[in-house]
Copies of this chain bind each other. A is one copy, B any other.
Amino acid sequence: MTRWQPDARGRLAQAALELYAERGFDGTTVADIAERAGVTERTFFRHFADKREVLFADGDVADVLVEGVAGETPLAAAIAGFAAVGAVIQDRRAFAEQRNAVIAASPDLQERELIKLASWADAVRDALLAQGVDPTEAALAAQVALAVFRSAFQRWLTSGKDADFARSIRETADALRALVV
């Protein structure tokens, strides 16, 4: 006789995404999420630091990001890092869409999203630093690459069901070059 069902964390994450989609972030209490997942509220807070974080457990995405940082120039390298993340996201488009819709509907979740993206930019900056890039240049390249990623993500979402993330990145990078000239 097992005392608890396995993967409480996964059930909590799933329940949270569903409830945020059904009733909105504000209309959902942590007690609701815990109940649907079949655990107590206290267990929720053992797995996730707060009510928002449950949507942002990216696992090892940061590793993918950092390993992808390589290229001819610092900016190209930074963009390549984000492109690697794009490839991961592309494999779960339906999830990405639902999650994106939920976040777009809640300022609280947007805040958390922004700081997560900022931490990605910091990781890219650090990767560039490790490759000997000048600190100021690395920070700027990471921020600009993030801007490209965000724009490319929107482009990918609005480009239909079978859009290619790498293509969206390339197109956005081209648009950037056109802007700066």
Contact = CB atoms under 8 A, between A and B. Distances in A.
Interface of A: 73-75, 107, 110-112, 114-115, 118, 136-137, 139-141, 143-144, 146-148, 150-151, 154-155, 172, 175-180
A37 B139 CA distance: 39
A148 B147 CA distance: 11
Q: Is the interface of A mostly helix, strand, loop or mixed?
A: helix
A75 B172 contact: no
Contacts of A143: 147, 150-151
Given A75-B179, A180-B180, 19 more contacts: A74-B179, A107-B115, A111-B112, A111-B114, A114-B118, A136-B151, A136-B155, A137-B175, A137-B178, A140-B147, A140-B151, A143-B151, A144-B147, A144-B179, A144-B180, A146-B147, A147-B147, A176-B180, A177-B180
Contact of A179 (B73, B147, B150): B73
A140 B111 CA distance: 20
B180 A137 contact: no
A179 B140 CA distance: 9
A35 to B, nearest CB: 27
